[in-house]
Amino acid sequence: MTPPVRSVRSADTLTRDALAVLQPGFTGTTAPEWLLRRLGEGLVSVGLFGRNVADPAQLAALTGRLRAEREELIVAIDEEGGDVTRLEVRGGSSFPGNHALGAVDDTALTREVARELGRRLADCGINLNWAPSADVNSNPANPVIGVRSFGADPQLVARHTAAYVEGLQSAGVAACTKHFPGHGDTAVDSHHDLPHIAADLATLQERELVPFRAAVAAGTRAVMSAHILLPALDGEHPATLSPAALHGLLRAPATEGGLGFDGLIVTDGMEMQAISATYGIERGSVLALAAGADAICVGGGLADEDIVLRLRDALVRAVRDGELPEQRLADAAARVRALAGRTRNAEVGEGPAPAPGIGLTAARRALRLTAAGPYAPLAEPAYVAAFTPLANIAVGDETPWGVAAELARLLPGTETATCTGGAAAAAGTTALVDGLLTAAAGRRLVAVVRDVHRHPWMADALHSLLAARPDTAVVEMGVPQAPPQGALHIATHGAARVCAQAAAEALTGRRPSPRE
């Protein structure tokens, strides 16, 4: 009797490959035993989130413990600076985000900011950053990209994406440019649903893909796929699950209209509703690997041993059932291991010299001030009305924002009130504004908004407040899409802590006179 044909790869090798392509998260500020055990069994990557970070010393100790189990290890984090920060999730970032850097439009500054951010990551033992965002913010209604983008001009976004990649990787931290093939022209957040982009292929080539080509040319080590549907490219599968997007566009050589990328392809979080609600996480992960992805990012929401075992077993089962080619899994695992080996030198204490003030310098340069007339700087405690939208999941609601805390440091006694869309709907705009005016009790007013052009309730409340108190200063900490309003209008191009600090300085007269 002829023996059955068996795979040349052992079951253990297949299991190790399945573990190798996962980038899971975990809870807590110390490594759980299950994670250490799986590292010994073949896991090569770990993703960190704000919940895993207390301070730099703790983070360095955590990554050191992980590497004691596996020396060649990818430790990844989602640290964009600006609004999306994990290193400083509870205090606000020391670095402005992409939109501020794009507003300055000095690639040397962008490179230096990214280098310093990379140095801090490397000092903590992190060697892969799920950044930068290379999305062209072409849709002003975009609820999830906004200030995470360098801007709306593809060429501007391209040159700053390249500079960011170069700066970050000069510090020994691999860049993971996202969200391929471009999440900027969406009005839906893929954390909640599947966005559709109607752009044709010509537009895609001339707009969305320009920054990704620049990132590839700059040597980005990794690219993250987006959970977005582009019917012009693939009418059935979102990019993360699309062979046409990953194998046929990102990997294809330039002579065939592709980007010729040969590095690591990482998926966006597979528990996001754009994937999990339609395909399920296990099925989605199999399809992503088959389409050309190399690493499965999961752990933002599902962060325990169970999800690791479920995905491991799903991948092994898919190979055995013939749904996922064994060689495709092996190639993906090899790419992950290759990056882990290449980035092993990003260790505590190595890298460029510190540039601790570069973030604040950049934030100050990003300010755009518009005055309706002479504006006397604040000299006494003020009253701050913070019109606060619902935070998107990428930013999270743990990270503080606004200018009240920074103003209070300069002008002790400054008070603040938080106003939400829900409160405006419940009380009505008139009652909301009347309450603010009463609480301010004659003090100078500062109104803080975030993407006022996207929130009608916010625009209405601001209009009513300015009608009653035209001497109010307005600080826009989102995308400054709406026309400037107020006695003094300050566009910070982001809500990082240093953006707030720069705005507070401007409000109190510590910066140059307003300019258009």
**Cα(501)–Cα(303) distance, integer angstroms:** 35
Give me the catalytic one of 78, 123, 189, 268.
268
Tracing tokens 């994937």 back to the chain, one arrives at 275
Query: What are the angstrom distances between the C-alpha of 412 and each of 333, 346, 490, 502?
Result: 56, 42, 21, 17
Count CA within 13 A, CB hemisphere, residue 275. Answer: 26
**Cα(491)–Cα(489) distance, integer angstroms:** 7
**Cα(175)–Cα(168) distance, integer angstroms:** 7
Give me the catalytic one of 99, 160, 183, 191.
191
Phi/psi at 78 (5° precision): -100, 80
Asked if 183 is an active-site residue, the reply is no
Q: Which of 255, 492, 273 is nearest to 365 (CA)?
A: 492
Local structure of 221: helix, strand or coil = coil
Tokens of 435: 């309450």
Phi/psi at 129 (5° precision): -115, 125
Asked if 99 is an active-site residue, the reply is no
**DSSP string over 266-296:** EPSPTTSHHHHTTT-HHHHHHHHHHHT--BE
- Sheet containing strand 383-388, edge to edge, reads 368-371, 488-491, 473-476, 445-449, 383-388, 415-420
**Cα(376)–Cα(506) distance, integer angstroms:** 11
Local structure of 173: helix, strand or coil = coil
Tokens of 22: 């996962």
Q: Which of 250, 328, 258 is nearest to 287 (CA)?
A: 328
Residue 426 burial by Cβ neighbours in a 10 Å radius (0-12, 13-18, 19+): exposed
Q: Give the number of other CB atoms < 10 A from CB of residue 196.
A: 14
Q: Which amino acid makes up residue 259?
A: L
CB 508 within 8 A of CB 377: yes
- Can you list the pairs that 400-404 forms with residues at least 24 positions away whose Cβ atoms lie under 8 Å? 400/90, 400/91, 400/92, 400/497, 401/83, 401/92, 401/450, 401/477, 401/495, 401/500, 402/448, 402/477, 402/495, 402/500, 403/446, 403/448, 403/475, 403/477, 403/500, 403/503, 403/504, 403/507, 404/448
Tokens of 267: 């998926």
Q: Please list the active-site residues.
A: 191, 268
